[in-house]
Every structure is written in structure tokens, then in C-alpha cells.
Amino acid sequence: MPTQTPEARALGLPDDFLWGASTSAFQVEGAAGEDGRGPSVWDTFCRLKGRVDNGDTGDVACDHYHRYAEDVALMRDLGVGAYRFSISWPRVLPRGRGAINEKGLDFYDRLIDRLLEAGIEPWACLYHWDFPQALHDLGGWSRRDSAGWFADYATLCARRYGDRVKRWATFNEFSVFTLFGYAFGWGAPSIADRAEHLKVIHHVNLAHGAGVDVLRALVPNASIGAVHSYQPCRPEDDAPENVEGAALFNELWNLTFPDPQILSHYPPRIAQAIEPYVQAGDMARIGRPMDWFGVNHYAPVYAKAEPGMVWGCGFGSPPPDMPRTNIGWPYQPDAFREALLDLTGRYRLPIYVTENGYGTKAAETPDERGMINDTERLDYLRACIGSMAEAHKAGADVRGYFVWSLLDNFEWGGGYGTRFGIVHVDFATQKRTLKESAKWYARLIGGRVA
Ligand code: IFM
């Protein structure tokens, strides 16, 4: 059982509180064309002109595919108790279904074994946005049978890794990849269509339910969750159309997935719109018993009416006097407390913070002493962890925290120019350097770095 450092104990966190670090396959692995991996929708998206900063791709990323042992050793030294990674669907099933790629499966065997040897608990997420391009070409998430494709993929992973991996998440941030990919057109596969978005929402929810059933049936002692982005949503001002826009945006961003999955109903505005796609028995297929709630939290979201967007609502502006992070996100660590208390009240599940972190466009190169003084990130993490501890004291059932991210990595549309890592990656040499935030985190969680 993990014990806490005096610093963590002073926060009032329980002795078995879990400290971890997160990444995702597409963002760190690289080796895109290697050992039989198939293309994902993000490989395709990266090749669309002007869609990713600097024309960056996931081809090499942090080369975690080859450097995983070094990265596990880094985590061990940092004192990390759990590593949340994702499995790349097209790496293990290059066409999304059918022929299995043994070499791809072997990679996760090696990673999992190395984690266990290092005393780090593997937390596997089945889906962090890298949908197989071959399945997208067949109609992708817009097809109802996509839930079956996902269940087959989950079966493969559960059978292969379920003897060693007990902590499973079905999806990462349902609302973000569906909104950005199918309603705003800002991410892969770059669609902006309300009907497509609605179908995708429902089919992804069905896939989640089917995945939970597979994991429950095949993994002895599985502890199963799903990872949701939850950012308290506020209207940009009190104009009635913006208040209504924010209420709809809140449903789309915060509720459209966890409500049906945990409470077995869609939130009101979505329930009406999605009705044509819901068949008898679907809500019971989606609402499967869950062991924990994974929350990714960064900042509150300000929303407004936006008639030009497919839902008629969109991102608004935070109040002008609200501080911002280096990449322009509202800086309000207190919102974390609010988020955790909201979630405890609404869903009544143990909560794991599966992502929280600070992004910057600064180069963060080491100084002459080799130090990277990422003071803003360190302050932000300290404030958020403090806010999480306050939420815990106030009754939020929060059991663990995973920093986003272990490494600087491929930040989707932001490419490699936006850095979220507590460990700096020099993408020219792949050299890893601990930032001051990593050293601070290690001191908090009982690592052995200076
Ligand atoms: O990098 C992403 C991650 O993939 C999902 N959650 C938010 C992070 C920062 O934008």
C-alpha cells in the first residue's frame, strides 16, 4: 500500500492516494509506419494542409515505442505509482478488425511487463482518439455496428493483457473527440454535421457499454472506468441567448456521455435531438455499472450562442480580468474543487483525476545549468492539487491524480510547439530532461530525484 510524503499528508490526502502520470499512444509512441501498424484518422488529419501547427505529425512523436524502458525508469525515479497509457487500436488491428498484428500486441506486453517490474500499476485506456482509418473508410462511428467493432477490439486487449492489467478505461474524453471531430471539424476526421455528430455520440456510448461488458466478462478483478473531460461551463455574459447557449454547451461537453453511462439517460436537450437514433434497450446497453469516474480537468469553459456553428453554440470569452495560461486557457485552479464536488454529487462514484496539467508555447529549453524553470506549470500544478485536496476535505471522493503529461508530446492541432510535459523532450535528439515541475512532483509523491 502506498504511503504518503509529509507534503502530501499535509494536504489531508488519504494514505492510499494514488499518484500517476498520463500519456496517450498517438501523442507519444511514434513508430507510425513500423512493425505493421495501420493508419489512424489522425495520421490522415496531420497530412491535411494547415490543420496542425508547423505541419507536425505523429510519425516519430516521443519515440516512446522504442524508448518505453527509459520512460518507465524515469517514472520509477519520479515515484509515480501508476501510468495511464492508451493502446493504439490500429497498432494491434491495422485495419481495425480482422487480421491481428502480433508485433503491435508485443509492444504493449513489453511495456506492461516493464511497468510491473518497476512497481508501477498499468492503467490502460482503449481509445484515445486514434481511430483506425480503415474503419472510418467503412463509415466509422456513424455506423451502429461500430460498437461491435470496438467490442471485438476490447476482447482482443482484455484476453491479451487482462492477466496483468486490472485498471481499464474504455475511452478518453468522449465529448472532446466527438465535438471537435464531428461538430466543429477542428480535429480528425474533420466533419461538421449535426446529424453525424448525434449518430457518433450514440454509437460511441453503445461502444462504451459493450466494452465494459467485455472487460467485466474477461478480466478477473477488473476495475473499470471511463475518462471524461469535465470543465465547469459558464455563459460568457448574462444575455439570454448566451445563457441558453452555455446550457446546451454544458450538456454537449460535460453530460452527454457520463449521464447515459451512469444515470442511464441523456441530458434534456440532447435527449430530444438524439431520439431518432436510439433503439429499444439501448439505454440499458449504455448504462453499465462502473467502478470509477475518470476526470480530466484543466479550466472552466466559457460558452455563448454562436449561430454559425452546427449546434448554434460555441466557445465564448472568459471575463477580461481572468488570468490566462500561456496558451490562453482560463487560469482558475479553484474551478477544480467545484468540478470534483459537482461530479461527486452527480455520479456518486470514486473519482480518479486522469489528467490535469499546464500547456505552454514557450520552448522551455534548459538553461546553462541544464535546468528548466517551468515556474508557471509548477505553480499551476501546486494550486490545482491544493484545490483537489480542498475538494477531498469537503467530501469529494477523489482517490488519485495523474499529471498530464509525463512527457512533452504531440499536442494534436498544436503539434510539438505546445508543451504539457513535466519532462522536457528535445524532439531533435529525443533527450529527456526533468523540468522543475517534475522535481517538485517527485518531492510531493515520494520520488527519488533531487
Ligand atoms: O493532450 C490532450 C489530451 O490528449 C487530452 N486531454 C487534454 C490534453 C491537453 O490538451
- Ligand 1 atom nearest the C-alpha of 420 is 9
Cα distance between residue 129 and residue 231, in whole Å: 19
- Ligand 1 atom nearest the C-alpha of 128 is 4
Please tell me whether residue 107 adopts helix, strand or coil conformation.
helix
CB-based contact 133:188 (threshold 8 Å): no
296 lines ligand 1 (CB under 6 A): yes
Distance from the CA of 299 to the center of ligand 1, in angstroms? 12
Q: Dump pLDDT digits (tens) for 305-360.
A: 999 999 999 999 999 999 999 999 999 999 999 999 999 999 999 999 999 999 99
- The dihedral built from the CA positions of residue 75, 167, 116 and 5, taken in this order, carries a sign that is positive
Cα distance between residue 211 and residue 277, in whole Å: 20
**Minimum CA distance residue for ligand 1 atom 1:** 411
Distance from the CA of 176 to the center of ligand 1, in angstroms? 9
Helix 102-117 and helix 64-78, axial crossing angle in degrees, nearest 10: 10
**Minimum CA distance residue for ligand 1 atom 10:** 411
Q: Which helix (H) or strand (E) holds 398?
A: strand 398-404
Where do the domains of the chain lie? 6-445
Q: What is the mean pLDDT of the chain?
A: 98
Q: Dump pLDDT digits (tens) for 99-130.
A: 999 999 999 999 999 999 999 999 999 999 99
DSSP alpha helix (H) spans, 251-331:
258, 268-274, 282-286
- Ligand 1 atom nearest the C-alpha of 412 is 1
CATH architecture of 6-445: Alpha-Beta Barrel (3.20)
Other Cβ atoms less than 10 A from the Cβ of 318: the count is 20
Per-residue pLDDT at 2 exceeds 80 = no
Q: Give per-residue burial for 153-165: e unless 16+ CB within 10 Å, then b.
A: bbbbbbebbbeeb
pTM (predicted TM-score): 0.98
pLDDT, residue 450, reads 66
Cα distance between residue 277 and residue 255, in whole Å: 18
Cell of 68: 518505453
71 lines ligand 1 (CB under 6 A): no
CB-based contact 396:335 (threshold 8 Å): no
**Minimum CA distance residue for ligand 1 atom 9:** 411
Confidence class of residue 449 from pLDDT cuts 50, 70 and 90?
confident
Residue range 397-426: mean pLDDT, rounded: 98
* Residues in a beta bridge with 124: 85, 168
Report the chain's terminal Cα–Cα distance, integer Å: 24
Cα distance between residue 30 and residue 291, in whole Å: 32
Per-residue pLDDT at 213 exceeds 70 = yes
DSSP alpha helix (H) spans, 268-374:
268-274, 282-286, 334-347
Confidence class of residue 375 from pLDDT cuts 50, 70 and 90?
very high
Share of the chain above pLDDT 70, in %: 99
Cα distance between residue 97 and residue 386, in whole Å: 44
| Strand-strand pairing, 233-235 and 301-305 | parallel
For residue 318, the Cα-to-chain-centroid distance in whole angstroms is 23
Residue for grid cell 493504439: 88
Distance from the CA of 280 to the center of ligand 1, in angstroms? 35
Residue partners of 422: CB distance under 8 A and separation at least 6: 21, 357, 374, 377, 381, 403, 405, 406, 434, 435, 437, 438, 441
Distance from the CA of 411 to the center of ligand 1, in angstroms? 7
411 lines ligand 1 (CB under 6 A): yes
Q: Dump pLDDT digits (tens) for 55-102.
A: 999 999 999 999 999 999 999 999 999 999 999 999 999 999 999 999
63 lines ligand 1 (CB under 6 A): no
pLDDT, residue 1, reads 53
List, by residue number, the catalytic residues.
173, 355
CB-based contact 104:29 (threshold 8 Å): no
Confidence class of residue 371 from pLDDT cuts 50, 70 and 90?
very high
Rg (CA), the chain: 21
Distance from the CA of 10 to the center of ligand 1, in angstroms? 29
- Ligand 1 atom nearest the C-alpha of 298 is 7
Smallest CA-to-CA distance from 108 within 51, 147, 165, 57 is with 165
For residue 108, the Cα-to-chain-centroid distance in whole angstroms is 18
Residue range 181-201: mean pLDDT, rounded: 98
Per-residue pLDDT at 412 exceeds 60 = yes
173 lines ligand 1 (CB under 6 A): yes
- Ligand 1 atom nearest the C-alpha of 129 is 4
130 lines ligand 1 (CB under 6 A): no
Share of the chain above pLDDT 90, in %: 99
Per-residue pLDDT at 403 exceeds 90 = yes
Give, as one character, the DSSP assignment of residue 53. Answer: G
